[in-house]
Structure 1
Amino acid sequence: MRVSPQRTRLRLNGDAALRGTRAGAIRGLRLGAEHILTQSRKRVPIEEATLERSGTATVDEAELTAAVSYDTPYAVRQHEELTYRHDAGRTAKYLEGPMAEETNTVAEIIAAQLRRSLRG
């Protein structure tokens, strides 16, 4: 008995795959930045919550970068001044801490979105 070889043709639409991957990366960056913002809001010094409310997460889709920022005249000073006293759970370095501590979580968020985009 002779078995004939099986042939399969696979056609890859590279442009569509790249578009999907880019969209997944953008979605992952956005979710990762939102995660950092959420974690930092738990630590931001709070008196009237103005600083906390000023926090934003943004994504530059062209550069594939994300940013988390706080926009008050005193945001940087509150972040850097280690001698200020804060309510329990509120600290200086309210953004730097979560950025360092949540690196693996953010990487997992981005990776999950990339995998999702490749399945779609």
Structure 2
Amino acid sequence: MAQNFRLRFNGAVAAARIRQGAARGLLLSAEHVLQKSQEVVPLDESPLMQSGTASVDEPSLTAVVSYDTPYAVKQHEDLTLRHAPGRTAKYLEGPLNASRAEVAAIIAAQIRRVMR
């Protein structure tokens, strides 16, 4: 008993949905990394912590987590500075590296979600 099947594949729609899911996943991942970095960012009176942002450039599928104070780079890079207990230099690099698997899982989940 032979059966016939017809499959229509609309690659443009699939590609658009994948990009949409990837962009959403990137934003959620950037927010996750921001949250983790907020736990270790150096504190004095908290302007550095309050300046943290997460954003995504959808056309290039690029996520950015940044802190915007005049001393943010120095606080991040200068390993000789002393910080309050639990606070550290490399407050972006450390949480990003520690969250690699979670970031990949978040992006993959968002792509799967839009492809249902």
TM over 0.5: yes
1:5 to 2, 7, 31: 2
What is the DSSP-based 3-state SS (H/G/I as helix, E as strand, rest coil) of the residue aligned with 1:22? Answer: helix
List, as ranges, runs of 4+ consecutive aligned residues in structure 1 with deviation greater than 6 Å.
Answer: none
Q: Which runs of 5+ in 1 are unaligned?
A: none
Greater alpha carbon shift after TM alignment, 8-17 vs 93-102: 8-17
Deviation of the 1:36 alpha carbon = 0.4
Q: Deviations over 1:17-38 (max 9, x none)?
A: 1111110000000001000000
Matched with 2:103 is 106
The yes-or-no answer on 1:65 pairing with 2:67 is no
In 2, the alpha carbon distance for the partners of 1:107 and 1:98 equals 14
In 1, the alpha carbon distance for the partners of 2:106 and 2:34 equals 14
Aligned length: 116
Matched with 1:84 is 81
What is the DSSP-based 3-state SS (H/G/I as helix, E as strand, rest coil) of the residue aligned with 1:68? Answer: strand
Identical counterparts, % of pairs: 59
TM-score (norm 2): 0.96
2:43 to 46, 53, 62: 46
Q: Which runs of 5+ in 2 are unaligned?
A: none
TM-score (norm 1): 0.93
